[in-house]
Chain A
Amino acid sequence: QITLKESGPTLVKPTQTLTLTCTFSGFSLSTSGVGVGWIRQPPGKALEWLALIYWNDDKRYSPSLKSRLTITKDTSKNQVVLTMTNVDPVDTATYFCAHKGAARLQEYDNWGQGTLVTVSS
């Protein structure tokens, strides 16, 4: 059974750096084809894809946020970390991490519960 869980601060001040951790179980991020992505959702709004890291450490970022995002993995700890610099109140959102299976093209078949991050002074 695949599970993912996001963790990190619930409140961040503007201009600070946000660090979110996705801790997962039930799969290995060293298996060929597997990936973990981050998606966010501002309150009452649509989903927005942020970043994806593959088993081979290849990374993809949303072009509009690429300069502010860094995604890394720690295979031994079964964790993926997303860092977002210079946050703004518009970054207030629920942040989800999700699993892309080895046989999948680019769909996310298992998701974490999400963590709400508020950016406010």
Chain B
Amino acid sequence: DIQMTQSPSSLSASVGDRVTITCQASQDISNYLNWYQQKPGKAPKLLIYDASNLETGVPSRFSGSGSGTDFTFTISSLQPEDIATYYCQQYDNLPPERLTFGGGTKVEIK
């Protein structure tokens, strides 16, 4: 099984700060890595797909990078509305196909 290690599990930053979250896969997953934002009591929202592609309508302060085993999600300038938990999600296309989510990163305002 491919394991996803997401860090940190939580962080506190000031408005305007640059925020970085990492996700590490236990083996090469190419660019099969997506990022979601989940606000309390809401469904997750797709922000980044295929490691670095910004979903339509998502602000450009969100970005993703990486390939292989190491991936990074960045908020270039944290805004109050970005308070949420962020999840990475990988896709393993080898049998048995499966999706795995990271443990989540809770982002709070300092």
Q: Is B89's beta carbon under 8 Å from chain A?
A: yes
- Within 8 Å of chain B (Cβ to Cβ): is A106? yes
Q: Is B26 an interface residue (CB 8 A)?
A: no
Given known A-B contacts A105-B50, A107-B89, A49 and B43 have beta carbons under 8 A apart? no
Interface footprint category on B: 20 to 34
CB distance from B51 to the nearest CB of A (A): 11
Complex alpha-carbon distance, A16 and B41, angstroms: 27
Complex: how many Å from CA A61 to CA B102? 18
For the complex, is A47 an interface residue (Cβ under 8 Å from B)? yes
Contact check, A96 vs B96: say whether CB atoms are below 8 A apart: no
Q: Which residues of A contact B38 (CB under 8 A)?
A: 47
A68 at the interface (CB under 8 A from B): no
- Of the four ranges (under 10, 10 to 19, 20 to 34, 35 or more), the interface on chain A belongs to 20 to 34
Residues of chain B with a CB closer than 8 A to A106's CB:
32, 34, 91, 93, 99
Could you tell me the distance between the alpha carbons of A39 and B103 in the complex, rounded to whole angstroms? 14
Q: Verify A49–B100 contact, CB threshold 8 A.
A: yes
Binds B, one of A7-15, A23-31, A108-116: A108-116
**In the assembled complex, B97 has its CB within 8 A of some CB on chain A:** yes
Q: Could you say which residues of chain A place their CB within 8 Å of the CB of B103?
A: 46
With A47-B87, A109-B46 known as contacts, the answer to whether A62 contacts B98 (CB < 8 A) is yes
Q: List 21 A-B contacts (CB under 8 A).
A: A39-B44, A39-B101, A46-B87, A46-B102, A47-B44, A47-B87, A47-B101, A47-B104, A48-B101, A49-B99, A49-B101, A52-B99, A60-B96, A62-B98, A63-B1, A96-B44, A98-B43, A104-B49, A105-B49, A106-B93, A111-B43
List B residues at the A interface (Cβ < 8 Å): 1, 32, 34, 36, 38, 42-46, 49-50, 55, 87, 89, 91, 93, 96-104
